[in-house]
Structure 1
Amino acid sequence: MSTIDLAYTYLGNYINNQELQQKIEAARAARRCLDIELGQDDQAKSRIYTKSTSNVPIGIIKKRGWMLSEGDVFKTQQGNLLIIHLKACELMVLSFSNEQSGYALPLIHLGHTLGNHHYPIFVTQDKIYIQLVADKDIIEKTIQKFNIPGLKVTYETQSFEHYLKLTSNMHFHSH
């Protein structure tokens, strides 16, 4: 049985960090870099057991409430760099089936309620995207309580690259 390589030292996110990108290149050249793919369910866990894409057992220990992101980098106990990749995720999409007006206040209340439940949302010109961090039936029931005519609920699976484009102006907060 292989030894689990534990990761709990967070180095940052390489996506906009040139220095970290260079460290990753050097680690890859030295064969000291591990990649893992995590699903949405794993992002918020404080203890994660998985295997790298090269089949190395990995344990990640992090603070509760911290959502892992694409490009997060950890240093493991064995001196490897561990790169986090997120699998494509399913999103709930809210749109209007026809031209509706006069529902600004219920939509504001809906946005407030979704925010209070800590459901990550982002808005484009004609759609509201909700990351499914809870059971979709629960989220749908929450939305249905607002009884907004013409509001349509659909689902899309998005690659992380598309998700990044959608969320580039998204803001998060913590309590």
Structure 2
Amino acid sequence: MILIEQVLGNVKDAVWKQRMDAARIDWLVLDQWEAQKNRLRKRTSKDLELAVALDRNTHLHDGDILVWDEAESSIVVVKTELKPVMVIDLEKVMAQSPELVLRTCFELGHALGNQHWPAVVKGNKVFVPLTIDQKVMSSVMRTHDFAGVTFEFMPGSDVIPYLAPHEARRLFGGAEPASHAHADHAPPHTHSHN
């Protein structure tokens, strides 16, 4: 077993991209639940046992490098398998009158709560994990036709860097049918459109 206490880098870094081209890659595949943890024990796709023990309030990201063996030219890379996330943008709503902002946010909260969709609010964005078919979630949003509200679906791995560990647990750990909505605050930057 190999103890992992820190990440060596990420495949997005130029130096690791070069090393990966010639390396034998072994994947540590993490699901919805595992991706939000800072401590876990798991085998890679090539059966290498790892014990991950990262600092508190940190977690692994897609593409993180955990092991590099230069002599063997082998590398262990994290692959997260997170469900997509609906990102609801309220920026245009926030520019409206306080009465309209209140009404729209209340009606949106009621609609999301009625569906039992978990949610995390950060600034002008609401993140809702895919708990049912994307077409159904789109249909619910279009049926309500909230003035000034736009939405899009993004890969969960693109959203998780904007989240604190407790928010990731709420968003991805609660992405089961019959979960209830949650809220937290502080803005990331995403591009939203219908």
TM-score normalised according to structure 2 size: 0.48
1:118-129 alignment, distance < 5 Å: 121=127, 126-127=150-151
Q: Which residue of structure 1 aligns with residue 20 of structure 2?
A: 24
Q: State the AA in 1 paired with 2:19.
A: K
Q: Which residue of structure 2 aligns with residue 13 of structure 1?
A: 10
Q: Which whole-Å CA distance do the structure 2 matches of 1:81 and 1:168 have between them?
A: 32
Q: Which residue of structure 2 aligns with residue 114 of structure 1?
A: 120
Q: Which runs of 5+ in 1 are unaligned?
A: 96-100, 144-166, 171-175
Deviation at 1:93, TM superposition (A): 7.0
Q: State the AA in 1 paired with 2:172.
A: V
Q: Which whole-Å CA distance do the structure 1 matches of 2:44 and 2:126 have between them?
A: 27
1:27-42 alignment, distance < 5 Å: 28=23, 31=24, 33-42=25-34
1:58-80 residue CA offsets vs partner (Å, 9 max, x unmatched): 22221222232211112369985
Matched, 1:73 2:65: yes
TM-score normalised according to structure 1 size: 0.52
- Secondary structure (helix, strand or coil) at the match of 1:34 reads strand
Deviation at 1:37, TM superposition (A): 0.8
Matched, 1:61 2:53: yes
1:40-51 alignment, distance < 5 Å: 40-51=32-43
Q: Which residue of structure 2 aligns with residue 135 of structure 1?
A: 174
Residues 11, 73 of structure 1: 8 Å contact kept: yes
Residues 135 and 76 of structure 1: is their aligned pair in 2 closer, same or farther, counting only changes over 3 Å? same
Residues 52 and 35 of structure 1: is their aligned pair in 2 closer, same or farther, counting only changes over 3 Å? same
Q: What CA RMSD, in Å, does the superposition of the two structures yield over aligned residues?
A: 4.2
Query: How many residues get paired?
Result: 127
Q: Which residue of structure 2 aligns with residue 82 of structure 1?
A: 76
Q: Which runs of 5+ in 2 are unaligned?
A: 90-95, 110-118, 129-148, 157-170
Q: State the AA in 2 paired with 1:133.
A: F
- Secondary structure (helix, strand or coil) at the match of 2:42 reads strand
Q: State the AA in 2 paired with 1:121.
A: F
Residues 86, 151 of structure 2: 8 Å contact kept: no
Percent sequence identity is: 15
Residues 126 and 92 of structure 1: is their aligned pair in 2 closer, same or farther, counting only changes over 3 Å? closer
Q: Which whole-Å CA distance do the structure 1 matches of 2:100 and 2:32 have between them?
A: 32
Residues 120 and 82 of structure 1: is their aligned pair in 2 closer, same or farther, counting only changes over 3 Å? farther
